[in-house]
Amino acid sequence: MLSVKNAARLSLIFLLATLLSGCSARHPIPLPDESRPPIPEQVHPPADARAQAASELIRQARQLLEAWQPDHAINLLERAVNLNPSSGQSYYYLAQAWLMKGDVRQAMEFNSLAEIYVIDDSFWESQVAEQKTQIDHLAANPYE
Amino acid sequence: MGLFLFYCRKMTLNTTKFKPVILMFLLPSIAGLIFLIIYSLSLSILIETRFSGRRWQIPSTVFSDTTLLYPGQRLYPEFLHEKLARLNYRDVISTPTQKGEMKSTFNGFDIFLYNAQFQTGMREGFPVRIHHQNNIIESIVRLDTGEPIPILELEPEELALFFGPERERRQLVSIQHVPDHFIRAVIAIEDSHFYEHYGISPLGILRAIYMNLRYGKIKQGGSTITQQLAKNYFLTSEKTISRKLKEILIAVILEMKYEKEDILEIYFNEIYFGQKGSESINGVGEASFFYFGKSVDELTLLESAVIAGLIKGPNIYSPYVDPEACKARRNTVLKAMQKEEQLSEEALRSLLAAPVRTAGFRIDPRKAPYFIDYLYKQLHTFYSKEDLSSLGLSIYTTLDTQVQQAAEKALEKGLRRLENARPELNRSQPEKRLQGAIIVIQPKTGYILAMVGGRDYNHSQFNRISQARRQTGSAFKPFVFLSALDQFTPASMFSNAPKSYPTDEGEWIPQNFKPTPDTPVSMRTALAHSHNRATVDLAMQTGLDRIIRIARSFHFSTPISPYPSLALGAFEAIPLELARAYSVFAADGVQPYPLSLKNVTGRNNIILNRRHMQIERLISPAKAFIISSMLQSAIIEGTGRSLARLGVSFPAAGKTGTTNKYRDAWFVGYTPDILALVWVGFDNGDSIYSTGSSAALPIWADLMKAIPQHISETWFQVPPGIVKRKICPASGLLPLKLSCPVVEEEFFLEKNIPDTRCDIHRLRIFRNIIQGIKDVVR
């Protein structure tokens, strides 16, 4: 004779088995969206030749900025951006150059681009943040 | 006083009988003298005016951007060789020893660089070795010091000259930069008494008169250098007595007013030295580059003698016209120098046998003519036509001649391919042929690297990049989808079923280009596959006014009307503006101003005008990234998937466009480094029977494959504000762990992440239980 207790046990096992079978045997449902390849993983720009060449230009531009020649520096930094659009330093120094030229709006734009590309680099993150504070201050007090 | 009156009376008495004779000679002489004085004064004023102002009309020169070379750079050696040839480097078979020489080997180039003026200063030429392997530059090393060079800048390439009516090329030089041996050579052959006379040489004139009388015609001029200058600068070349007299008068005035050195300097800059196609070579500065590829201060004695010898007959003694006659004339100059004791007998003997070595020259076809027209219009805001043809400005641009050439070739090849495949596209009249246009931009900076405004500038100067207004078709869709990103996500589903929309002209039912199931599709799929019905559904849910507002913020200058068909690109755009608008997606949401001009310099390299990249933020980096990601899907799985078959394997984003009745075919594609727009169509709107993916996309692929140096093969960095989540692609919502059969990853704006679970598969779990029970019962 099957006791009530045993019947309950069996029912529970049956229910669990049913549930598990539902999970394992999936019937494909036609999808409205045709299947597509996965979105490629983010490819981080490697420290490749272009990046190295850009670094060289950035180095030269920094020297020009130190010599207070923002226009010449901008020319080099534009080339650096063309070579390595993911270099946050290029945008940082471009912002710096535009600050030297007194164009706070352009400096702000370049600073915001620098922000995107210095993530994962705490030193440059702090530099860009500091620059942002300076730009915000200048924007708020244009006649200082 | 009494004595004076006495003498006067005496003279009067003595000359009375000669009075008629005196009057006959004296009065005309006095009148002549007065006329001569007045005429000389007027000439003197003329000379002073001409010499105190701008002495020559010097055309302005347009240059390309400089070229950067660095280790690790990918490039085709044959293209680099072409580039160097266009920069007037000449092939030699041994190691280059002089500036402007290059030697190609199977894995490299040895180049003796020219001196070059860059924005940061003057660079002295030096020998350099570029070593390459498998189309990659392995190293760049200075040959003189062995020092490795991290980045080498090649000088800009001359693209065009803005001539006046004279079409004279001239580079001004100061007398201080002209070598002594050149001065001595010219004086020895042209006017050996230059430093002794006062502008004219009476002996020379007598000799000329004798010769002219003997032959009964004007045969010899007997001109000094000063007279030659007077003739060339102020007079015509006609051979008449009056012209000769004027010449003498001007020469004398010149000598009275100016130092010998000043006269020589003006003469050296003025004199005609030959012809380069339709352009005349004037002045020793231009001549030394044209004949020997070097600046005047670098001329050797032999080269100076060649140029000095040209003065007598530039087109007779030109080394490019008759090398033998040139050599003979050069030797005549050398002998004249020896006669004037400028050369020893021994030196002369050793020099006479030397060959004449020239730099060679090439007359290139017009380079980037549509770009030059576009630039010219921009320059007009600063300079008049007269200024551009006379001030001798150097105009530096953003154009990359390698990209320009690749674009021209790709366009011509693509259009020919279409014509060959479809004979109905051929037209007998050149101006009615199938047309195309390309613009290549660096999206982050806005630099215009190439602009091809049409197939053949000689037949049509209409610039289809900057002047045409064409319907955009599906190439406009990214702006529609962008407008929806605040409300929807790339995973949101839209109806792809036939649906009618009321318009002023009645009901409108958009059709998909290809038959597709009526089931809903995600935003990503709708854009990747360019589904029209889903796009219109999205647009109507988003609101046409919002789409128009967003589009206008991207600086489309053409009118945009709020019709539902706007979602499918039923509005006209200027291709340049469309390319600029796409740049926003490739530039993290900022829009650069398209730059063609970098700077303008005057004499002595003083910068007169300068343009830098100017950017304006239009959308967040996160939205730009989402659109780029969806347009990457178009390349991977959608309307642009044929790119892989065409050999484009690097990550790219892009969108095709085809307008009603196949009037226009578009492809706009980009990477983080470069953006190119290709348009194909007929000017009169005839059908081209081809889509954007079959007509424009292959041209884009050809272009990109030819310029590997501009493609980093990287993809965009995920900006702040983007998150990745797993979704059920059927619903576009978060998946149910045990129920959704397929799970995919999707990018979302941080503020717009789906927070509900899949509603399509929610009941799946209960269906499975019931199914399990049924199975057991059976």
Answer whether B714 sits within 8 Å of A46, measured CB to CB.
yes
Going by pLDDT thresholds of 50, 70 and 90, the confidence category of residue A44 is: very low
From chain B residues 241-260, the ones with a CB under 8 A of any chain A CB are none
A96 in a domain, yes or no? yes
Taking residue B719's Cβ as centre, other Cβ atoms within 10 Å add up to: 20
Q: Are B305 and B333 in contact (CB under 8 A)?
A: yes
Separation of alpha carbons B307 and B305, rounded Å? 5
Residue B103 shares a structural domain with residue B240:
no
A123 in a domain, yes or no? yes
Separation of alpha carbons B274 and B310, rounded Å? 8
List the single residue in B525, B719, B765 with the smallest CB-CB distance to A22. B765
B704 in a domain, yes or no? yes
Residue B487 shares a structural domain with residue B456:
no
A43 in a domain, yes or no? no
pLDDT, tens digit, 9 for 90 and up, residues B43-83: 888 888 777 766 778 899 999 999 999 999 998 999 999 99
Q: What's the pLDDT at B118? A: 85
Lowest mean pLDDT among B235-244, B449-458, B739-748: B235-244
Cβ-Cβ contacts under 8 Å, B761 against chain A: 29
Answer whether B768 sits within 8 Å of A23, measured CB to CB.
yes
Question: In CATH, what number is assigned to the domain containing residue B673?
Answer: 3.40.710.10
B501 in a domain, yes or no? yes
First-last CA distance in chain A: 96
Cβ-Cβ contacts under 8 Å, B519 against chain A: 30, 32
Cβ-Cβ contacts under 8 Å, B747 against chain A: 39
Answer whether A84 sits within 8 Å of B712, measured CB to CB.
yes
The shortest C-alpha distance from B286 to chain A (Å) reads 29
Q: Average pLDDT of B102-108?
A: 92
Strand partners, B308: none
Residue B461 shares a structural domain with residue B477:
no
Q: Are B60 and B391 in contact (CB under 8 A)?
A: yes
Going by pLDDT thresholds of 50, 70 and 90, the confidence category of residue B210 is: confident
Residue B772 shares a structural domain with residue B732:
yes
Residue B187 shares a structural domain with residue B290:
yes
A65 in a domain, yes or no? yes
Residue B524 shares a structural domain with residue B583:
no
**Residue B329, SS3 per DSSP:** helix
Q: What's the pLDDT at B594? A: 95
Predicted complex ipTM: 0.81
Residue B338 shares a structural domain with residue B390:
no
A43 touches chain B (CB under 8 A): yes
Answer whether A49 sits within 8 Å of B68, measured CB to CB.
no
Side-chain-side CA neighbours of residue A79 (13 Å) = 29
B33 in a domain, yes or no? yes
Q: Average pLDDT of B349-362?
A: 89
By annotation, the residues of B acting in catalysis are: 190, 474
Q: Average pLDDT of B560-580?
A: 94
Residues spanned by the domain of A123: 49-140
Structural domain total, chain B: 6
Separation of alpha carbons A112 and A91, rounded Å? 8
Residue B217 shares a structural domain with residue B262:
yes
Residue B120 shares a structural domain with residue B245:
no
Which DSSP helix (H) or strand (E) runs through B333?
A: helix B323-339
A24 in a domain, yes or no? no
Residue B93 shares a structural domain with residue B40:
no
**Residue A135, SS3 per DSSP:** helix
**Residue B697, SS3 per DSSP:** helix
pLDDT, tens digit, 9 for 90 and up, residues B399-429: 999 999 999 999 999 999 999 999 999 999 9
Q: What's the pLDDT at A40? A: 39
A64 in a domain, yes or no? yes
Question: In CATH, what number is assigned to the domain containing residue A132?
Answer: 1.25.40.10
B638 in a domain, yes or no? no
How far CA B580 is from CA of A107, B447, B555, B704, in Å, comes to 21, 11, 8, 18
Answer whether A38 sits within 8 Å of B590, measured CB to CB.
no
List the single residue in A21, A38, A72 with the smallest CB-CB distance to B119. A72
A122 in a domain, yes or no? yes
Residue B428 shares a structural domain with residue B532:
no
Structural domain total, chain A: 1
B155 in a domain, yes or no? no
- Helices A88-100 and A49-66: angle between axes, nearest 10 degrees: 20
List the single residue in B444, B637, B775 with the smallest CB-CB distance to A36. B637
Taking residue A119's Cβ as centre, other Cβ atoms within 10 Å add up to: 15
Strand B394-397 to B60-63 pairing: parallel
pLDDT, tens digit, 9 for 90 and up, residues B245-272: 888 888 898 898 889 999 999 999 989 9
A-B interface: how many C-beta pairs under 8 angstroms? 166
Domain's final residue, options B720, B737, B763: B720
Strand B435-442 to B279-282 pairing: unpaired
Give which of A12, A19, A33, A93 to mutate to test B binding, by max B Cβ within 10 Å: A33
Domain's final residue, options B720, B738, B757: B720
More confident residue, B660 or B210: B660
Residue B569 shares a structural domain with residue B483:
yes
Short-list B302, B313, B289, B432, CA closest to B355: B302
From chain B residues 442-471, the ones with a CB under 8 A of any chain A CB are 442-445, 447
Strand partners, B336: none
Q: What's the pLDDT at B232? A: 83
Residues spanned by the domain of B486: 469-573
A53 touches chain B (CB under 8 A): yes
How far CA B117 is from CA of B70, B172, B293, B601, B606, in Å, comes to 20, 16, 15, 11, 12
A2 in a domain, yes or no? no
Short-list B347, B306, B301, B300, CA closest to B323: B306
Strand B168-170 to B279-282 pairing: parallel
